[in-house]
Amino acid sequence: MAMIDGRVVLQPVNGWRGIAIAGYFLAAWGYSSSGTLLYLCDIREPLRAVTHDSHYGIESLRGVAVSQKGVVALICDQMIKIITINDPIINTCLCAPPGHYFTDASFNDPGDLLFALISGRIKDSLCIWRCQDRVVNVETEWETHYEAVRRGYLGSRVIPHNTHQGCIIATEELFFPAQIRGRSQEILPRNHEVRLANVIAGCVFLDHSMITVERGPFSGRFRLKEYKIERQSLLPSTGVEICKLESRLDNPKRLLVVKEDENITVIVCNPNGTIEIVQIVPKPENDNSRKMLFHSLRLL
């Protein structure tokens, strides 16, 4: 990896699978014929490339989460390896129970909580760890268990609230608010589920809305929608369209949603060498509503 005129230049291989950005920290990951690809950097300083080796044990890497404090969660099948970008020697391993698999993980905006989903044959689990001074405690802060939606299903996603100790869990087209209850072993039903078809990506906006990128029902065009979060994190079954994207997204991997403070930026990379950028910022008034700042195509 190198920095050229403010651009991050990755190794020229076809195996890159994803990128995560939080604050000044960036992580890119993927696979190549020689093994796992992993690059981490703090864009304020000379880039430090971290490559896969046997020390990390991340052969089954399925995703990466980054916090604004520079803490990185390497999501593997049966463990999450925690490292820090500016000090990769510090690392922690969070393990799934035998016969269970991690499906997703994400930090909240302050970076003091790590949310992770674990899938099993009988139950699915939401585990939350506390992160203090760039160190993740190995003991969970909260654990909540739900009826398994489908044995061995590995496609669930976790969408943390910005600052509240809560999150939304998405499994296929079903979204529901998680219940945070200490470390109870009770298996709970998935109450208050709503079906939201065609959602490609989503994140919480100012703790009061979920912003989604969705495929249009009758065309290939995509759109941004807002779903107001009601009390107890309940979601409505219908949302309000913010705008349509000009891009015709042929691959969700070309999409990146970046949160910075109270702003959300949606970036779509098009095969013709252009990118579309949509930024959502709160109005200066005290009504906590959303406002479109700009919506345009920019040449790379």
- At 18-49, the pLDDT tens digits run 888 888 888 888 887 777 888 888 887 755 55
Q: Which residue has the higher pLDDT, 281 or 110?
A: 110
Residue 17, phi then psi, degrees to nearest 5: -110, -30
Containing H/E element for 252?
A: none
Which token pair is 118? 């674990």
What's the mean pLDDT in 64-73?
93
**What whole-number distance in Å separates Cα of residue 261 and Cα of residue 134?**
19
Q: What is the pLDDT of residue 117?
A: 95
Place of tokens 């995560």: 20
**What whole-number distance in Å separates Cα of residue 16 and Cα of residue 68?**
22
**What whole-number distance in Å separates Cα of residue 32 and Cα of residue 5?**
27
**What whole-number distance in Å separates Cα of residue 68 and Cα of residue 27?**
12
- At 269-298, the pLDDT tens digits run 776 667 788 888 776 655 554 444 444 443
Q: Does the pLDDT at position 116 exceed 90?
A: yes
Q: What is the pLDDT of residue 141?
A: 92
Contact 209, 227 (CB under 8 A): yes
Q: What is the pLDDT of residue 268?
A: 79
Q: What is the pLDDT of residue 111?
A: 92
Q: What is the pLDDT of residue 78?
A: 92
The CB-side HSE value for 164 (13 A sphere, CA atoms) comes to 19
**What whole-number distance in Å separates Cα of residue 132 and Cα of residue 55?**
24
Place of tokens 């970076």: 111
Considering the chain, what percentage of its residues have pLDDT values greater than 70?
79
Helical residues (DSSP H) of the chain, grouped into ranges:
none
Q: What angle do CA 136, 16, 120 make, to 5 degrees?
A: 50
Contact 229, 210 (CB under 8 A): yes
64 has which bridge partners?
A: 74
- At 92-106, the pLDDT tens digits run 899 999 989 999 999
**What whole-number distance in Å separates Cα of residue 49 and Cα of residue 250?**
30
52 has which bridge partners?
A: none
Q: Does the pLDDT at position 118 exceed 70?
A: yes
DSSP code, position 267: E
Q: What is the pLDDT of residue 154?
A: 63
**What whole-number distance in Å separates Cα of residue 185 and Cα of residue 257?**
34
3-state secondary structure string across 270-293: CCCCEEEEEEEEECCCCCCCEEEE
What's the mean pLDDT in 73-91?
84
- At 164-214, the pLDDT tens digits run 788 999 988 899 998 887 777 888 888 889 999 888 888 888 888 898 888
Mean of all residue pLDDT scores within the chain: 80
2 has which bridge partners?
A: 9
Closest to 283 measured CA to CA, from 201, 206, 203, 213: 206
pLDDT band with cut points at 50, 70 and 90 for residue 64: very high
The CB-side HSE value for 231 (13 A sphere, CA atoms) comes to 0
User: Going from the N-terminus, what domains does the chain have, and what CATH number goes with each?
Assistant: 1-195 (2.130.10.10), 200-300 (2.40.128)
pLDDT band with cut points at 50, 70 and 90 for residue 9: low
Lowest mean pLDDT among 9-18, 230-239, 282-291: 282-291
Q: How many of the other CB atoms lie within 10 Å of CB of 240?
A: 12
